[in-house]
Structure formats: structure tokens, C-alpha cells
Amino acid sequence: MENNKKSILLVDDDAEFCEELKDLLEEEGYEIDTASDGREGLKTALTKSYDLIFLDIKLPGMNGLDILEKLKSESVESPVIIISASPSVAKYTSSEVKNDNFGEDAALKLADGAMGKPFDIEKTLKTVEELTGR
């Protein structure tokens, strides 16, 4: 039987948050890879094709916005959800991101969605389903 699981990369240095989101998504049937710093996250994202990438903005080694710009310049087609504890980022929904309503930072406009910390489980699962085509 072939593996039809959707694969997701979770790049975040907050181990507790990462584990919580990973457990939730695995329970929903997704295959999850993780990276705890920016350089590892970028390398992993360029090595394997993912159905979705969660990317924290503040990471050791390389920040999430730099990674996002690099992924887009390398033509990585995986949708990206930016993760942030900042209320200015976390207030956006995926539909607002797609409609280009980010005002603060041009790099954020490259994202396909945004998610706050702590995250809303139902909203997160709905966005993941939308972006992975499930």
C-alpha cells in the first residue's frame, strides 16, 4: 500500500509548541518532520517536497522571513504558514494573507497563511486542510 499521507515540515525552536502541533497533526494523519533552527529548516525544506511548511519568524541561525524569501527564490512550491507570537502577524487569517493585506513586511506577503501562538486548534486544522488540499 502506498503512502498517501500529506507531509508537513514544522520549523520552530519552541520545543513545547512544536511537540503540541506535531502531535495534533499526526493524530489527524499527517506525516510531520521538524527542524529547530533556521539553517536546518531551510536545508530540510530544500531536500524534500512538502505539502505544507510551518515557519516560525524568530529562529536561531536564520530568521523565518529570510528562509521564506530563499524558498521562494529557489521555486519551492510548498505553501508556507508563518508562525508568530506577535499580535501584528497573528491577527491575519490565511484568506487575508492571500488577499495581500499584510502591511508591515513585504516578506510576509510571500506566505500563504499566518498562525499565532498560542494557536487555535480548529482554525489551524481548517487552514492545514485548505492548503494541503485534504
Mean pLDDT, the chain, integer:
84
User: For residue 114, what is the domain's CATH number?
Assistant: 3.40.50.2300
Give every strand in the sheet of 52-56, ordered side by side. Answer: 31-35, 7-11, 52-56, 80-84, 113-116
At 2, is the pLDDT very low, low, confident or very high (cuts 50, 70, 90)?
A: very low
- The pTM score is 0.86
Q: Is residue 44 part of a domain?
A: yes
Provide the residue range defining the domain that includes 20: 7-132
If pLDDT is split at 50, 70 and 90, which confidence band does 109 have? confident
Q: Please tell me the least confidently modeled range out of 15-19, 70-74, 94-98, 106-110.
A: 94-98
Mean pLDDT of all residues in 24-33: 96
54-73: string of b/e by CB count within 10 Å (b at 16+)?
A: bbbbebeebbbbebbeebee
Question: What phi and psi, each to the nearest 5 degrees, are found at residue 4?
Answer: -105, 15
Residue 113 in domain: yes
Residue 2 maps to a domain: no
- Mean pLDDT of all residues in 29-36: 96
Q: How far apart are CA 69 and CA 108, in angstroms?
A: 9
- DSSP state, residue 29: T
Rounded-to-integer distance, Cα 62 and Cα 67, Å: 7
Would 1 be classed as within a structural domain?
A: no
Instruction: Examine residue 12 and state whether it is found in any structural domain, yes or no.
Output: yes
Domain count, the chain: 1
Residue 133 in this model has a pLDDT that exceeds 90? no
Please say whether the beta carbons of 41 and 68 come within 8 A: no
Grid cell at residue 105: 513586511
Does residue 28 fall inside a structural domain?
yes
Q: Cα–Cα distance between 38 and 11 in angstroms, integer?
A: 7
Q: Helix, strand or coil for residue 117?
A: coil
